[in-house]
Structure formats: structure tokens, C-alpha cells
Chains A and B, each alone.
Chain A
Amino acid sequence: MKHFFKIVYCIAILCIADTSYAQRKTAVKAKTTTVNAGLKLPTGFHASIIARDLGVARHMAVNSKGDIYVKMDRVKNSGGIIELSNPADNGIARKKTVFGEYGGTGIAIKNGYLYASSNSNIYRYKLNADEQVEDTGKAELIVSGLLDRGQHNSKSIALDNDGNIYVNIGAYSNSCQEHDRENGSKGMDPCPILDSAGGIWQFKADKQNQTYGDGVRYATGTRNVVGLDWNNEINSLFVMQHGRDQIGTMFPQFYEAKYADEIPAEEMFLVKKGMNFGWPYCYYDPMQNKKLLAPEYGGDGKQVGRCAEMEKPVVAFPAHMAPDGLLFYTGNMFPEKYKNGAFIAFHGSWNRNVTGQEGYFVAFVPFKDGKPSGKWEVFANGFAGVSKIESTGDAKYRPCGLAQAPDGSLYVSDDNKGNIWRITYKGK
């Protein structure tokens, strides 16, 4: 009898997994008719490649004149920051300067300064009246000594309107096991990593030489956040978390392989001071719409336990798609539907073991008054260049950074080869 219930449960779960997969497939097909520069876009949109083969191009910032600053992750052969000219004139962004001898991901412009991060420090450069870096050799060190142990080391940044800078300090671990990613190794409880990582830290944007002691752990329990953005409409921070890996391969006794590929969701969080999002103790199951106890902490795919108190996502996306860029669109070029909505660059998965890799696109979520007002949809697809991705290496390009130009067009960077796409709207 016990076995009978187990079988019924498995069948039920498979059905749920299947329908959610089918729903996603229909979302993927959202009236994409235009194909430009290799991308499938909604009707009326147009794409072109404005820069090619820059290297490992991560996040971007655009000044008021339309020049683009690209943060590079590998200094070798490319330099740390590349300044490109405004491509609006002839469709090509020319390399103007290369500076900043450190690899990293974060870059942003605020109040007359360009901020950029290495994997352990945050710097800033003064901008002149044309919003160009005055002296590329003169970087002010704002924050230093942030933890970098390789894994999840991107120090992505966002700034608010009150003189603060927010930085992701990712956990150097998958699920805080005694032995990271090892079969059968227990989760540490409490997880010691959370003291110095696995959260969002807040620092003063205009004070030099800060380190951990000067900052505030603004929110905790975020495993790794690469995309984050300040939403000016409701004056709040939003972040995209990368959910934990390998739940199915490490705990096949609790999760059927196909179901395991769909958990945990990649989560969008609205972040307020003091919030706890639950890593490493909890993960979000998008089929059950619940934060559940992680198997390293005694979970079995059903138990909730302490996770009842953890913050929920405002949007849950399919598992493992790796959201690396987040941007709230405030431009005037795109149709009304896009105003104040969120674009998310999905880098693309590598550990969806049986259902095949997913992501490698830019998604969109409509927002109203700071809340999602509709389902997420695929906005720009085709970066991978192939329809079926079995191994990550099959994908030609992988979306990472997003930025908005003064004219309202959208830039998407790829960190595989270093191409940058410009997406514009011209109407029907």
C-alpha cells in the first residue's frame, strides 16, 4: 500500500513537472516574428550587433552621451573596462579607451561617477561635464577586501538615490555542505559562510577605503546574485538569485530526475533591509509554490520546516537558467507595456541533466507600481545559435549584461565571445 502511494505521488509529480514544462514552452513562443542579427524578437523590434569579440564582456553602463562602458572579466587581451562610442550614429560602437587593470563584473554610473568592481574591490572614477571618465588612471578605492574564493565571486553592484551602493557577495559554496558538492556531506548549521557572504551588503557610495566593518549586511540568504537593479518607481532594490545546483544528482532518493531538473526556481527578490531569503537551508519549488527545506538540512522534497519564515520570490523562473543581468526599463522608445518592466538576461543553464539546457535568452516581466503585472515571457532569443543545447559549449553566445541607452534602446552583452547587441523598436 505504501508503495502504491509512492507511485501515485511520483506520477502526480511527473504530471505537474510536465505541465509546467509545457507552459514554459508556450511562453517561449510568444509572438516572435522578427529575426535580426540572429535574434528572434517580438514584432516591431529590431536588433543589430554594435560590437564584436570584445572578450568576456560582463555588465555595462551607458552615460548621458550614449557612450558605453563595458566591464570585462578577464584583463588578459581585453583590459578591465572598455569604453565604446555611441553607436546610434552609424550602428557601430568604436573602441575609445581601455583602462582599469582588474577583471570583474559590476559597473554603474551615478551622480557624476563611474563605479566598477573587481571580484573583491569597488572603485570609482570621476566623470567630466560630458560624462566621460576624467582620468582613467585615477581610481578611488571605495570598498576593498570582499571575499573572493573563486566560486560565485562576481561583485555586481547597484546604487540607490540616497548615497548607498549595494554589492552582491556570493556564497563560495553550493549548499554550505561540510564538503562542497560532495555526495552525502551534511549541511553546516548554522552556515558559517553567511557571516561574510551569501548576502547583499550596503556601503556608502562616496566614502573611500571601506571594508566589511563599514558596511551593513542589508539582506542575507542569497546564494549568488549577479543581476541586480534599483527600481526608481518604488525606490527599492531587486535582485535575481542563482538557485542551488545538483539537488537531483546528490539526492536521487527524494527527486525523480526530470522533476529535479525543474528545481529550484531562479528567483527574483524584492529586497528590503533585514530580509532573509533562506539559502542554504531552503530552496523554492516552483511546482509546489513553496520554500522547502533543503535535503542537506533534513528536507525530502515536501518538508517546509523553518522555511515558512523565509521571504518568497516576486517572480519564479525555471531552474538553472542563470540570470546574470537585471534592468528596469524606463526608456521611451519601447511600447507602453515595457515601461518600468524588468528585463532579465539569462546566461543559460549547464546542469539541467535530463531535460536539456535552457535559458540563453533575454526575458521580460511587465510591472505595475513595482509589482509584476503579468507572466514573464521570452523577449529576445537565439543567442545560442542552435535550437538544442546538450552541452553548454554548443551555445555560441551567452547573454550577461543589460543597459539602456539615452534613446531608450536596449543593449545586451555576451560574455562568451564579447558581442554587444542593440535592440530598438520601430513599430509595425
Chain B
Amino acid sequence: MKKIIITGILCLLVVAYIFAQAKKQPLAQASIKRGQKVFESTCIVCHQKNGGGVPRLNPPLIKTKYVLGDKSQLVQIVLKGLNQPIEIEGETYNNVMPSFAQLTDEQIADVLTYVRNSFGNKASAVTPALVKAERAKTQ
């Protein structure tokens, strides 16, 4: 009897887990899809369709430590822009990135989720809640 209960609980957990995953996936997929639209209207001009950037002008968004690394820092880049003589994967870039604070929390979450899951990148989603928290820090 005990065995049956444990197996039953395990089964339930597995089923719950599968459901949770299934629910999570379409959510991320929807976010990526919306994010592509945002990317095409706001980021593509500099970072290019393939995310490869423009040599010595605009950096690539392919597997850089900024794109794949700390999500808070990534959100801050989009909120505040970036204009520092920093090295990105061993190269410096001359153009400036403006602030995109006028985008909504959801748009920023979507575009970063898209970037983190395109051009060969694979990383977890960015949530509107995180963007909201980061925006609060800048105010």
C-alpha cells in the first residue's frame, strides 16, 4: 500500500512537471516571437539581421558575455544605453547605443528573450518583472 502511494505521488509529480514545462515553453515561444518584432523595429538597424553587428562600429549579439551573462546588467544596457570604450570579445566599437527606456517592461523582456534565443544563443528568458525591478533602480 505504502509503495502504491509513493509511486502515485511520484507519478503526480512527474505529470505536474511535464505540465509546467509544457506551459512554460509556449510562454517563452510567444515572448520570443513578440521579441523578434521589437528587435526588427529597434535593434536590427545597428546589430543587423543576423545579430552579427558591424565591424568596429556595432558589436555582435552572438554569445557575448553581456548577452548570455547577468540578466540585470543586460536589462540595464537596454534601459540606459551604452557608450563606453569597452572591449566586447576582444574588440572595441565606435558607435553609441541609445537608451530604450521608452519601451515597455514587456517589450524589453521580449526582445532580450528573443536575443538570448537567436543567432545561436540559448539562454533563459528575461521576465517583465525583472525589467520592472531594474527600471525602479534607475529612477
Residues of A within 8 A of B (CB): 56, 73, 150-153, 179-185, 245-246, 249, 350-351, 353, 390-394, 398, 415-416
Contacts and interface: CB of A to CB of B under 8 A. Distances in A.
Nearest to A150: B94
Given A56-B56, A350-B54, A392-B55, A181 B98 contact: yes
Contacts of A150: 83, 85, 94-96
Contact of A184 (B46, B50, B52, B102): B102
A393 B52 contact: yes
Contact of B96 (A151, A249, A350): A151
Given A180-B98, A394-B50, 10 more contacts: A150-B83, A153-B94, A180-B83, A249-B42, A350-B45, A392-B52, A392-B54, A393-B48, A393-B53, A416-B55
Interface of B: 41-42, 44-46, 48-50, 52-58, 60, 81, 83, 85, 94-99, 102
A350 B99 contact: no
Contact of A183 (B48, B56, B83, B98): B98
Contacts of A152: 94
Given A150-B94, A391-B50, A392-B52, A351 B45 contact: yes
B52 A182 contact: no
A74 to B, nearest CB: 8
A73 B50 contact: no
Contacts of B42: 249
Contacts of B60: 393
A373 B42 CA distance: 41
Nearest to B95: A151
A390 B83 CA distance: 26
A179 B50 contact: no
Contacts of A394: 50
A384 to B, nearest CB: 13
B57 A350 contact: yes
A219 to B, nearest CB: 23
Contacts of B41: 249
A73 B56 contact: yes
A74 B107 CA distance: 37
A84 B19 CA distance: 67
Contacts of B96: 150-151, 180-181
A7 B56 CA distance: 41
Nearest to B96: A180
A398 B54 CA distance: 11
A71 to B, nearest CB: 15
A182 B99 contact: yes
Contacts of A350: 45-46, 48, 54, 57-58
A390 B49 CA distance: 7
